[in-house]
Amino acid sequence: MAGNGQKVGVLALQGDFREHLAVLRGLGADAVPIRRPAELDEIGGLVIPGGESSVMDKLSRTFGLAEPLREAIAGGLPVYGTCAGLIMLADRILDGIAGQQSLGGLDVSVRRNAFGSQVDSFETDLDIPAVGEEPMHAVFIRAPIVEEVGPAATALARVADGRVVAVEQGNLIGTSFHPEITGDTRFHEYFLSKVRDAARVQWTSFQT
């Protein structure tokens, strides 16, 4: 199985965290919901789900998770953010509400709800060489867009008009769309490969 029993977390403050837990568990990962700072010490990777980024931001600060999350991200924790999760990982939010903060880590500028409202949700096929040759069917729901990719980050996918909808930087991945609802597990597998690699590096460092 792709997960090999790794313990990974899904931020479970708000949004579609249950869908991510189901996908990860289906891949063999020991996936657990994360709601408290102490729980971060038990995981080797984290998924930040879709939802409402401004609410997620407020709840992460209310529950005392924001700073521990920033420290974990800066320390190399593999993290995969979808939709609102991408916004949470972005260094720059171009149209956040008053006082909205992100966790940062991805050298990108994002725009919230860039494709419009819920009624403007759409689906399309994307070429994403990083996760395989076959196109990926992607679902966009009130999705953000990456308007600027800084030098530290890499674009992984674009929609037909050239706008960026998936990025990575080191152990961090972000997508504007929702692989957790389409049955295509390749992004979750890609994330788990980063978790395995990070654990291997940590073990090697410990041994030496």
**Active site (catalytic) residues:** 83, 178, 180
Distance CA(159)–CA(108), nearest Å, equals 17
E-strand spans in the chain?
A: 7-11, 30-34, 46-48, 79-82, 90-93, 106-111, 122-126, 136-140, 145-149, 154-158, 164-169, 172-175
Q: Are strands 46-48 and 79-82 parallel, antiparallel or unpaired?
A: parallel
User: 77: how many CB neighbours lie within 10 A of its CB?
Assistant: 21
